[in-house]
Structure 1
Amino acid sequence: MIFNYFALFLVSVVGIVFLDDDITSVSIQEWILFAVMIYAVLGIFRHYRDLLNQERRRR
């Protein structure tokens, strides 16, 4: 599951790099990919938080 979020993050980064025609402005596609990137990072943090909570319950 965490690999899906990581892949989503990487695709967003690559998409932003390739869609950046004009470095002085941000297109709507770049904003959407940035939102997808934030979603992926939050998913990764949630996954690690859940793993930490499971480890704490074990002790």
Structure 2
Amino acid sequence: MYNYFALSLVAFIGIVVFDDDPTGVSLQEWIFFAVLVYAAISFFRRYFEHLRQQIGRGG
């Protein structure tokens, strides 16, 4: 799950680096945003799967 955190951090830094124009969004920023959303969804999917397994074992 640390890899999703690292992926989110890299995407966030990429968005900040490529933000030359505060009034618009570049293609690179959209790509990094998509990576950020993917990492967040994957993290929460894995987290809830882990919780479901813990509940199934009885705690």
Q: Name the TM-score, length of structure 2 as normaliser.
A: 0.95
Aligned to 1:17: 16
Aligned length: 58
**Does 1:6 find its partner at 2:23?**
no
Percent identical residues:
53
Q: Following TM superposition, where does structure 1 have runs of at least 4 consecutive aligned residues deviating by more than 2 angstroms? A: none
CA RMSD of aligned residues (A): 0.5
Structure 1 length-normalised TM: 0.95
Q: Secondary structure at the match of 2:23?
A: coil
Please list every run of 5 or more consecutive structure 2 residues that lacks an aligned counterpart in the other structure. Answer: none
